[in-house]
Amino acid sequence: MKKHGILNSSISRVLSSMGHTDTIAIGDCGLPIPDGPERIDLSLTLGVPRFMDVLKAVSDDMKIEKITLADEIQLQNPDILKDIQALFPEDIQVEFVSHSDLKERTRQCKAVIRTGEQTPYANIILQSGCIF
């Protein structure tokens, strides 16, 4: 049994298989998940688990060089945006795209993790960095 890091076997396996520039998405309970990427559904009830709890756990276990967010988060969910900005160091590239573009980009992700988050535009794509 693991002592540290992600205990969820699906998330742990996906993170272990990722290479430089591969992507994974974490979304709220309403984010549509296209056919193609692995669906990792963590949602239990509305709000559980929270988006930020899942993002924090994944970011602790993953080298991230870039994040992609929906433009709409800036006006529609500034509290989550502040939490995201506080979580990541300034050297991580941040890209804002339309929500429809973000949803389209999830098709290229290795996996999409669904949380119980019920606030708008609480969705992110994480691009893997290189550990050396």
pLDDT in tens, 85-116: 999 988 899 999 999 999 999 999 999 999 99
Position 25 scores a pLDDT of 98
Reply yes or no on whether 20 is catalytic.
Answer: yes
Q: Quick check: 2 pLDDT over 90?
A: no
Instruction: Tell whether 1 is covered by a domain.
Output: no
Mean pLDDT of 74-83: 98
Instruction: Tell whether 119 is covered by a domain.
Output: yes
Position 1 scores a pLDDT of 76
Instruction: Tell whether 74 is covered by a domain.
Output: yes
22-69: pLDDT as tens digits: 999 999 999 999 999 999 999 999 999 999 999 999 999 999 999 999
- Rounded-to-integer distance, Cα 124 and Cα 132, Å: 24
Q: Which of 7, 9, 13, 20 is catalytic?
A: 20
Identify the domain containing residue 60 by its residue range. 9-128
Contacts of residue 21, Cβ cutoff 8 Å, sequence gap at least 6: 127, 128
Instruction: Tell whether 41 is covered by a domain.
Output: yes
Domain count within the chain: 1
Instruction: Tell whether 4 is covered by a domain.
Output: no
Instruction: Tell whether 45 is covered by a domain.
Output: yes
Number of C-beta neighbours around residue 76 at 10 A: 15
Position 4 scores a pLDDT of 85
**Which has the closest alpha carbon to 65: 106, 95, 25, 93?**
93
**Which has the closest alpha carbon to 120: 67, 51, 57?**
51
Instruction: Assign residue 17 the CATH number of its domain.
Output: 3.40.1650.10
- Rounded-to-integer distance, Cα 129 and Cα 10, Å: 20
Instruction: Tell whether 42 is covered by a domain.
Output: yes
Pairing of strands 64-70, 23-27: unpaired
Position 90 scores a pLDDT of 87
Instruction: Tell whether 3 is covered by a domain.
Output: no
